[in-house]
Structure 1
Amino acid sequence: MQRTKLSLLKARVAVKQLTGSYDEAREDSERIRELAQQIGDQQEVAHALVDMGNTFKSKGNLQTALELYELALGIWREIGDRGGEGKSLYSIGVVHFNRDEYELSLRYCDEAMKIQREIGDRVGEAFTLSNIGTVHCSRGDYEQGLRHYEETLRIFRQIGDKRGEAGALNNIGAVHYFRGDYEQALVHCEKALELHRAIGDRANEAGTSTNLGAVQYFRGNYDEALRYYDTALRIQRQIGDRHGVAGSLNNIGKVHHDLGEYDGSLRYYHQSLEIYREIGDRVGEAGTLGNIARVHYERGDLDPALRYSQLSLKIEREIGNRLGEADALCCIAAIHTCRADYRAA
């Protein structure tokens, strides 16, 4: 009976994580951990800790995610589960990447990949290679990033993992995008989109549509960008991905902002802000508050611009996002300068 309940809860966690219902996913993961502890299944306890870590990571709470992954790592090592150990090392590496701790991220990913190669975990190896590629790209080393993504793509094709193949194509497209090679970015992302549609992967279809929208946005093709963003938004609403919906609303708001359609931009930003607050995504909330502030600033509405900038600054400081904090401070300084309040600026 307990095993059946565990299986049902695990399936529900997977669905909740996919749809962005992170609080519900965390609650179910906590129930799984309690059940697993009751029946003495340390492996399931560790799996639950990893799932809980994933939900905290998705909401931007990286410190708690790291602590949970480290607890899971200790259990995997204690029971001698090399696969689980590799999985946790990879997860820890991802957290360090998200904290801009690139050397630590590479160190943990290298440890993970060594284990994954020893035990023949090709899927795990591919994901770890992908994260290593992302670290290199974030440091501006696109050649190294591209090399790791192409190796990832080769593995996924060898093992016939269409979902992984599509993800790798997406990442390769992203490298070309950041290098300004928009044609190659479109080619790879469109291939990824075809695969997502072929296998019925609606969530990643939405994600790739978002990437294609971003490429068109930076090419100045706003109609095409809106078409892709609208596609992503429609899918995300259909599958109940509230986090994705918030992001797409934000993207659509940015297009309207750039077009000078301030009322439309604010309408989309406020819808996005409401969702970010409901799901507890403080990173998204802070960024959206900053976007709203910039619209008001450009309209000359300095009082609301200052109010939203200060709200954004407060959250950026609370979550430790130094780059976001700097952006908010720059906006506040610009507002005070417009008011000729040079001392406050």
Structure 2
Amino acid sequence: MEWHGRAAAYFSDAGDLEEELYHRFCSGDTSKEGEWHRLYQSANLACDYDSGLRVIELVTVHEVRDGLLRTRPGLVSHALTLRSDVALHQGRLDDAVFEADQALRIARKEGLAREEAKALLILGCVAERRSELTRAKGVLGEAFDLCRASGDVQNGANCQLHLGAVAVRQADYVAASECFRVAANLYQRVEDGLGEGNVHWQHGIALRRVGRFGESREALRLALRKYRTLGFRLGVANTLREEGGIYLREGRAKKSRNALHEALGLYREIGDRLGEAGCLTELSFLELSDGDADAAHESLRGAASLYASIGNELGVADTTLLSAQVLVHEGVLDEARAHVSRASTAYEDMESPLGRANCLLLSGVIMQRSGALPEASVSLARAVRAFREIGNAQGERMALGERSRVAVLEQDGDLAVRLARRALKVSSVMGSKAAMAESMVALGTAELANARTKEAMRVFGAGRALFEELGIDH
């Protein structure tokens, strides 16, 4: 203890804050805990994950942890939660759960409500990332109740932000808007500019999902302004990536390419391999829309390699499935089927219900392209049920639309119309004009197959009007 104290004084005189903090913590002196947290936040804002993890290690390294568990268990729990948060951001979901579970055990043993809430928040975010939306909503709700009881405004805002994100994934945009409103008010109370930027960003994503692209871009611009002011390059990159996706959806290829390449450059500059992989995936859609399947394959291979380098198995499976979509676009159906099989096995191992549902959907499309219409209909019906079970309205809509197309090919016009109307109803519940317009295309096609030409023309006209309103060239 004496030697650690003397070492702390020496490093304090030398201006080496990290070494000073390590020796202070070893001797049980936590008087500079605030400096430790400031160091971590500084590294986090600069997206310097290696430095951030090194700062966390000052508290969680074995020699220090043993002492602090007796004197400051809350500090150890908090450090483990921060380490879990870094793992979550890097896509190492199993590591994130392992660290958060450790933090949760310490917090509950010591009766530390605030630290318990922080650990639950991370576990809720992992569940959201894995598309376990019902579980995510329950865990995040439990975390928010703890924050409210303990007066933790900051993390209460974080809980509401992620509850809003879950509501968006469940297509409950009324609930999402309310969560974002509450989060924004809470962030303002604690003067958290980064949190306010995150609300704008999540709101932009929600508006994009319902096809309100102009409003989405406006929300993203507000987020971008906040992030640039704070110098938060990760936020800037994430926002540009979202903007690129909107421009792509609108058919504005040049603007999409500019935004995505600027985002990609930022991800590489800050060493964020997860963001870089996601950006390459988005670029693959752009390249495919340009008719360059080879470039799309190359982008997806790059994304898969990045996901593999950080141990993100879900990302690898997702890119395998996306590669299958590109192969379907090229008409290489046998190879596409093999890719879907590999992705399906991976999703089974990871127990990903969303992944399994997507595999059923794409399998149905491949069977339809191969002319195996009865088998396609069965696979797509299973996909509809799978998407409905996990509350994924967008997936259910797409599966219903594809099954309607199969019914058209089978010359069962009545069934095709019924399925297309169900898809349109799901789109209406989602509140997405873009989804409604796409469902109208499927319904018009079904009505035409049913020899109801006037009704088909009316539906096509309504769909075209929606596309024009959204600025989409369909």
- Normalising to structure 2: TM-score of the pair? 0.56
Correspondence for 1:302: 293
Correspondence for 1:214: 205
Query: How has the CA–CA distance of structure 1 residues 258 and 59 changed in structure 2, closer, same or farther, with 3 Å as cutoff?
Result: farther
In the alignment, which of 235, 255, 258 is matched to residue 249 of structure 2? 258
- Alpha-carbon distance in 2 for matches of 1:273, 1:320: 20
In the alignment, which of 176, 179, 183 is matched to residue 185 of structure 1? 176
Q: CA deviation at 1:204?
A: 0.5
Q: CA deviation at 1:256?
A: 0.8
- Alpha-carbon distance in 2 for matches of 1:239, 1:53: 12
- Alpha-carbon distance in 1 for matches of 2:330, 2:205: 35
Q: Which amino acid aligns with 2:188?
A: R
Determine if contact 2:11/2:19 at 8 Å carries over to the other structure: no
Query: How has the CA–CA distance of structure 1 residues 166 and 92 changed in structure 2, closer, same or farther, with 3 Å as cutoff?
Result: closer
Which digits, 9 at most, give the CA deviation of each residue in 1:48-68, with x for residues without a partner? 699669959x6677xx77994
Correspondence for 2:398: none
Q: Is 1:72–2:68 an aligned residue pair?
A: no
- Alpha-carbon distance in 2 for matches of 1:194, 1:237: 21
Query: How has the CA–CA distance of structure 1 residues 139 and 330 changed in structure 2, closer, same or farther, with 3 Å as cutoff?
Result: closer
Correspondence for 1:100: 93
- Alpha-carbon distance in 1 for matches of 2:324, 2:267: 26
Correspondence for 1:33: 18
Q: Is 1:312–2:306 an aligned residue pair?
A: no
In the alignment, which of 245, 251, 259 is matched to residue 268 of structure 1? 259
- After alignment, is 334-343 or 265-274 more displaced? 334-343
Which digits, 9 at most, give the CA deviation of each residue in 1:279-324, with x for residues without a partner? 1111111211221122011111234334333332332232222232
Query: What is the total number of aligned residue pairs between the two structures?
Result: 317
Query: How has the CA–CA distance of structure 1 residues 160 and 275 changed in structure 2, closer, same or farther, with 3 Å as cutoff?
Result: same
**RMSD between aligned residues:** 4.0
Which digits, 9 at most, give the CA deviation of each residue in 1:3-54, with x for residues without a partner? 79969x8xxxxxxxxxxxxxxxxxxxxx433234577855579986996699
- After alignment, is 205-214 or 161-170 more displaced? 161-170
Correspondence for 1:15: none
Q: CA deviation at 1:341?
A: 6.7
Correspondence for 1:112: 106
Give the alignment of 1:79-90 within 5 angstroms: 79=68, 80-81=70-71, 82-90=73-81
Q: Is 1:200–2:191 an aligned residue pair?
A: yes
- Alpha-carbon distance in 2 for matches of 1:189, 1:343: 45
Give the alignment of 1:1-12 within 5 angstroms: none
Determine if contact 1:73/1:89 at 8 Å carries over to the other structure: no
Q: CA deviation at 1:160?
A: 3.7
Query: Unmatched 5+ residue regions in structure 1?
Result: 10-30
- Alpha-carbon distance in 2 for matches of 1:160, 1:144: 24
In the alignment, which of 229, 236, 245 is matched to residue 245 of structure 1? 236
Q: CA deviation at 1:272?
A: 0.3
Which digits, 9 at most, give the CA deviation of each residue in 1:181-234, with x for residues without a partner? 110110111121133234432100000111111111111111111111111011
Q: Which amino acid aligns with 1:100?
A: L
Q: Which amino acid aligns with 1:219?
A: V
Aligned to 1:270, what secondary structure does the other structure show? helix
Q: Which amino acid aligns with 2:92?
A: R
Query: How has the CA–CA distance of structure 1 residues 160 and 49 changed in structure 2, closer, same or farther, with 3 Å as cutoff?
Result: closer
- Alpha-carbon distance in 2 for matches of 1:330, 1:136: 21
Correspondence for 1:26: none
Q: Which amino acid aligns with 1:299?
A: D
Q: Is 1:126–2:120 an aligned residue pair?
A: no
- After alignment, is 206-215 or 156-165 more displaced? 156-165
Identical positions, percent: 22
- Alpha-carbon distance in 2 for matches of 1:199, 1:302: 48
Determine if contact 2:59/2:79 at 8 Å carries over to the other structure: yes
Q: Is 1:280–2:271 an aligned residue pair?
A: yes
- Alpha-carbon distance in 1 for matches of 2:145, 2:108: 18
Query: How has the CA–CA distance of structure 1 residues 329 and 272 changed in structure 2, closer, same or farther, with 3 Å as cutoff?
Result: same
Q: Which amino acid aligns with 1:113?
A: A
Q: Which amino acid aligns with 1:111?
A: R
Determine if contact 1:253/1:264 at 8 Å carries over to the other structure: yes
- Alpha-carbon distance in 1 for matches of 2:188, 2:151: 16
Q: CA deviation at 1:246?
A: 0.4
Determine if contact 2:287/2:293 at 8 Å carries over to the other structure: yes
Correspondence for 1:174: 165
Query: Unmatched 5+ residue regions in structure 2?
Result: 1-7, 337-474
Q: CA deviation at 1:266?
A: 0.7
